[in-house]
Chains A and B, each alone.
Chain A
Amino acid sequence: GAVVSQHPSWVICKSGTSVKIECRSLDFQATTMFWYRQFPKQSLMLMATSNEGSKATYEQGVEKDKFLINHASLTLSTLTVTSAHPEDSSFYICSAEGGLAGKDYNEQFFGPGTRLTVL
């Protein structure tokens, strides 16, 4: 099956610093990738949709200048949390859209998530 990885799996940083999270589709090409955020005991909230080679589309209420998304290739998207603050501490999950052999539709495959803690 399709595999999506994220790096790092967890990160602790000081307030005011920037953190970059990578999302890779390991065995398929993903034209579209998605970034979600999940606070404790809450559901996943879509932050932005990223298409390879173009600007990301952000959901309402998500600051595009704070959460920088780059999707430079069909297998890699990055999310940079700039000037992180404690309220940005969360579980960040990416997903990549791809097709499986023998199926005529695309599926969304999720990464394992990155736990960000801002001190």
Chain B
Amino acid sequence: DAKTTQPTSMDCAEGRAANLPCNHSTISGNEYVYWYRQIHSQGPQYIIHGLKNNETNEMASLIITEDRKSSTLILPHATLRDTAVYYCIVRVEGGGSNYKLTFGKGTLLTVNP
């Protein structure tokens, strides 16, 4: 799986949009960009994933650059409960033993009141 680079930490004011960047310059053509988050002392939670088109769901939006070498996760209206470590992972989509997720260090997002 391709390696990703994320800032170690970010701060965001409550109610504002949180934009979390991720660089994945070595991503392969068949690799997707996945985002998970982990609230302290809990298991990771799936947020969103995409291949090349921008994606949106009830939790967040994912913006992938045209060259696919970077992406941004957007939480449109951050709340205190969004404080967590956010992981950007690239991998092929599929099931079975190949469905490995390799977690990097992620970005600690702190939402301030």
Contact = CB atoms under 8 A, between A and B. Distances in A.
Interface in A75-118: 91, 93, 95, 97, 99, 105-113, 115
Contact of A115 (B38, B41, B102): B41
B97 A46 contact: no
Nearest to A113: B43
A32 interface: yes
Contacts of A112: 42-43
A93 B94 contact: no
B97 A57 contact: yes
Interface stretch (B10-18, B66-74, B75-83, B103-111): B103-111
A43 B43 contact: no
Interface residues of A, number: 28
A21 to B, nearest CB: 13
Interface of A: 4, 6, 31-32, 34, 36, 43-46, 49, 51, 57, 91, 93, 95, 97, 99, 105-113, 115
A43 B106 CA distance: 8
A49 B44 CA distance: 17
Interface in B17-64: 38, 41-46
B96 interface: yes
A97 B95 CA distance: 7
B21 to A, nearest CB: 18
A113 B95 contact: no
B97 A110 contact: no
Contacts of A51: 96-97
Contacts of A107: 46
B101 interface: yes
B40 to A, nearest CB: 10
